[in-house]
Every structure is written in structure tokens, then in C-alpha cells.
Amino acid sequence: WLTRVMMALSQGCQNPGNWILALTGTLALVFMVRQRLRNDPRLAAQVFGGLCQVPVMGPMLVASSAARFSAATATLVSAGVRLDRCLKLGALASGNPVVVIDAPLLVDTIHQGERLSEYLAAREDVYPATLSYYVAVGEESSALSQMLFRAASFFDEELNYRIEALSAAIEPVLLGIVATIIGLVLLSVFLPLYGFLDKLGG
């Protein structure tokens, strides 16, 4: 049966129609999901929040969005843009739908006189605790943009570290998968051959 499966897979891969059908279906599915998430911010936030809970992927998504949010906000603050406007645009630049949905509440809280660092610290489910620390230092030293740039650099370094660690962990797994595939191919070739030789010997 192993030989039959391998032959069926081989024949399927040699048929261009199967590749075109699979590619078309995949692209259509990706387009439909993307449109649905774009039209429903709440659903997008739920999906992104769920992905952030995934052990390996989650911390990388959080670090990436925090780096973009910090860098965009820092650039706007250093250019003299109003803080509330900076936060709204920074949320959009983060690529994190959870932050985008939270941005209006964040801006309203700032308008009511609460410090930005206090709000960020109270919403650790949305913003990393490290970000609130950098913002607090920036508020105390009147150097918010500089500290946000440092926060962006920190999150970039964290993201690069996690990517390198993931690459190092994936490499032996990929080698194992390749070895398994090669072993299956060899078995599918040699098992029928051994059976044929046994019949000849009998």
C-alpha cells in the first residue's frame, strides 16, 4: 500500500491541473479570510489575540507590533504632532487590531489627564509591560520620543532574537522531516523489489 500511495502522490504532483487548482483554492481562501477580517475589526482583534497566545508565535507578534507602535509614535512625537494624534497613527502602524480598537479609549484617557505610562501599565493584556516602563522614564525625563525610539529598538532586538532561536529549533525538525520522506520513498521502492525477489527465490 505504501508503494501505491507514493505512486498516486507522484502522479498527482505531475499533473499541472492539480497545482493550479490547489493554488487557486488557497488564494481564494486567503482573500476571503482577509476581506472578512478587514470588514470586521472585532473579529480581527479576536483572531490576533488568539494568535498572541500561541507559545512561539505569540511573543513574536507582540514584539513586532510593539516595535512598530513605538517607532511610529516616536517619529510623530519628535516631529511635533499632538500626542493624541500620534497614538492613533501609531496604533494603525502597529498592525495589531487589538491596539487599533483600544486606541480611542487610550486617547480619551489621556484627554482626561491620566498619564500615558499609567494607562499602558494597566493594560498589560494589550501593551507589553516593558513599553510602559520606557514611557514612564520618558515622561519623567521629558524625553518621550527618545525613550520610545529606545523601546522600538528593544522590541526589534527581542524579535530578532526570537526569530534566530526559532530558526535554530526548526532546523533539526526539518532535517527529521526530510529524512522521514526519503525513508518512505526508499521503502516504497525496495519493499516491492524484495517481495519480487522472494517470489523468484521460491
- pLDDT exceeds cutoff 80 at 194: no
Q: Is 90 left (phi over 0), alpha (psi -120 to 50) or beta?
A: alpha
The pLDDT tens digits for 62-108 are 999 999 999 999 999 999 999 999 999 999 999 999 999 999 999 99
87/89 Cα distance (integer angstroms)? 6
Mean predicted confidence (pLDDT) in 151-177: 90
Rounded to 5 degrees, what angle do the CA atoms 37, 90, 164 make?
75
48/96 Cα distance (integer angstroms)? 7
The pLDDT tens digits for 27-56 are 888 888 778 777 887 888 888 888 888 888
Q: How much is the pLDDT for 77?
A: 95
Q: How much is the pLDDT for 146?
A: 96
202/197 Cα distance (integer angstroms)? 9
Could you tell me if 183 and 81 are in contact, meaning their C-beta atoms sit under 8 angstroms apart? no
Q: How much is the pLDDT for 12?
A: 64
The pLDDT tens digits for 124-147 are 989 999 999 999 999 999 899 999
Residues 57-89 as b/e (b if ≥16 CB within 10 A, e otherwise) read eeebbbbbbbbbbbbbbbbbbeeeeebeebbbb
The pLDDT tens digits for 1-35 are 556 666 666 666 667 676 677 788 888 888 887 78
Q: How many Cβ atoms are within 10 Å of 40's Cβ, its own excluded?
A: 13
48 contact partners, CB below 8 Å, separation of at least 6: 61, 96, 97, 98
